[in-house]
Structure 1
Amino acid sequence: MRRVPLLPTLLVLVAVAIMISLGFWQLRRLQWKEALLNHYAAAQHASEAVEWTSEGVNDTMLYRRAHLTCSAVIGHSSIAGRNAEGQPGMGQTADCSLPGGGKALVVLGWSKQPNAATAWQGGDVRGVIAPGPRLVANPPLAGLEPNEIPDPSGIPNNHLSYAIQWFFFAATALVIYALALRKRLSRD
């Protein structure tokens, strides 16, 4: 009668333990992501706008209405974006110097053409803080069309499916190893 091989069994058990721990880690990430998405949803409806200062903004301010003063435009560019109706095009951006130092990226508005807002040279900007961070102007500036307003509802929360995958991988590894062991031990 043959014995259960020690090293392969140990390796499979360690791999299964790692997969199970990754599954539980994804469950913790699920709770974290739900709290973050709830925070972002509440930020969208906050009544007061925050001030974008020379110190910048942090992730807790995302999706809040904000205000900044662009004292000088350092450069213009454009990024892929959508307008308020969902049509694809270009978000016209300006890299701004802020009073007291610091910089901010401002999405001035939307256009079908790149570099459509190079004449804008600064001023007061109101809008919504988007990831990046960048301030998406609302209302748009420089005669541009409105951008799509940043919305956290599009942020995926796949952590439950990832957790289920890790648990499934662990169970599959155990079943495959058990079948291999059974075959090996039945030959003896």
Structure 2
Amino acid sequence: MRRHGMRKLPILPTMFVAAAAAVMVVLGVWQMQRLHQKEAMLARYQAAQASATEVSWPGRGAGAEMALYHRSRVDCRTVAGMTTVSGRNVAGEAGLAHVADCRLADGSAVPVSLGWSRNPASPAWSGGAVTGWIAPGPKLVADPAQAGLEGNARPDPRDMPNNHLAYAVQWFFFAGVALVIYGLALRGRWREKR
């Protein structure tokens, strides 16, 4: 007569699956923390955009992130070059944003999105004082537009992706699936040994 005792779990596979599921749960928790950080950052950006306070141009240092979506101004002493990139105007129409590679008095470079048009030819613009919004990059989006161009769409923090919740759900789902699959594999193995 065969004795049915407690079923034994295979040690190494069980440890491996448990460790993998634990890592996935930790990654899901980390994504939830990132979600809260991102929400706080976006709220700070929206408050900055609603503020009338003008800040100094931050450059590319540590202060650049804190200055995003504030108004600022630069004095473009010389224009080192001009490029066009896809962009939208204030009405949301697709076209081209004309970006000047400005040099300030200290020699630092600032990309300034002068304005929007459908014409790919760069406008004639030799520099000067420009006010506008600090957009990611950082770059200055001129407001008002310069060089006879139409206004660019105002940079909007809501355009930044915030998909950390979806990533968290994926990691938790992967952990659950790994455990369910392992449980089904064990059940099949135990049935075969009967």
Task: State the TM-score bracket (shorter-chain normalisation).
Answer: over 0.9
> Could you list the per-position Cα deviations for residues 48-92 of structure 1 after superposition, in whole angstroms to 9, with x for gaps in the alignment?
211226676611111111110001101111111001111111100
Q: Which has the larger radius of gyration?
A: 2
CA RMSD of aligned residues (A): 1.5
> Are 1:162 and 2:167 counterparts?
yes
Query: How many Å apart are 1:115 and its aligned residue?
Result: 3.0
8 Å CA contact retained: 1:82, 1:91: yes
Q: Normalising by the residue count of structure 1, what TM-score does the alignment of the two structures yield?
A: 0.94
Q: Structure 1 stretches (4+) deviating beyond 3 angstroms? A: 53-57
Give the aligned partner of residue 52 of structure 2: 47
- CA distance 1:19–1:25, change in 2 (3 Å): same
SS in 2 for 1:176: helix
Equivalent of 1:69, from 72, 75, 91?
A: 75
Aligned to 2:153: 148
Partner of residue 90 from structure 1, selected from 96, 99, 107:
96
Give, in whole Å, the separation in 1 of the partners of 2:144 and 2:187: 69
Q: Give the letter for the 1:111 counterpart.
A: S
Q: What secondary structure is seen at the aligned counterpart in 1 of 2:30?
A: helix
TM-score norm. by structure 2 comes to: 0.91
Does the CA-based 8 Å contact 2:59-2:138 persist in structure 1? Answer: no
Of 3, 9, 17, 1:12 maps to 17
Unaligned runs of at least 5 residues, structure 1? none
> For the structure 1 residues 179 and 116, does the alpha-carbon distance in structure 2 shift closer, same or farther, using more than 3 Å as the test?
same
Offset at residue 9 of structure 1 (A): 1.1
Q: Percent identity?
A: 50
Query: Structure 2 stretches of 5 or more lacking a match?
Result: none
**C-alpha distance in 1, partners of 2:22/2:41?**
28
Count of residue pairs the alignment pairs up: 187
